[in-house]
């Protein structure tokens, strides 16, 4: 039986609520969220790869 990460609720990312709703609508995959992070590094936010599911750069297999 697989378990879902309780830190990221299966999304593979922490603090997704800090992405504006108007942009979050289009982020429908881990790759899309990763691209958003790459393009918003200079902004103040705490969105990051879940440290339980990944190493801060990429996920361990399947996120969440």
Report the pLDDT value the prediction gives residue 15, as an integer from 0 to 100: 93
Report the pLDDT value the prediction gives residue 31, as an integer from 0 to 100: 84
Cα 62 from chain centre: 12
Q: Determine the 3-state secondary structure of 13 from DSSP.
A: strand
Tell me: the pLDDT tens digits for 1-45? Answer: 567 788 888 888 899 999 998 988 888 888 888 899 889 888 888
Report the pLDDT value the prediction gives residue 49, as an integer from 0 to 100: 87
Report the pLDDT value the prediction gives residue 17, as an integer from 0 to 100: 92
Domain ranges of the chain: 1-64
Rounded to whole angstroms, the Cα distance separating 17 from 11 reads 12
């Amino acid at each position: 039986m697989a378990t879902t990460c309780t830190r990221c609720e299966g999304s593979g990312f922490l603090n997704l609520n800090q992405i504006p709703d108007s942009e979050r609508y289009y982020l429908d995959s881990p790759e899309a969220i990763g691209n958003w992070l790459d393009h918003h590094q200079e902004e103040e936010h705490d969105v990051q790869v879940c440290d339980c599911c990944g190493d801060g750069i990429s996920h361990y297999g399947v996120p969440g």
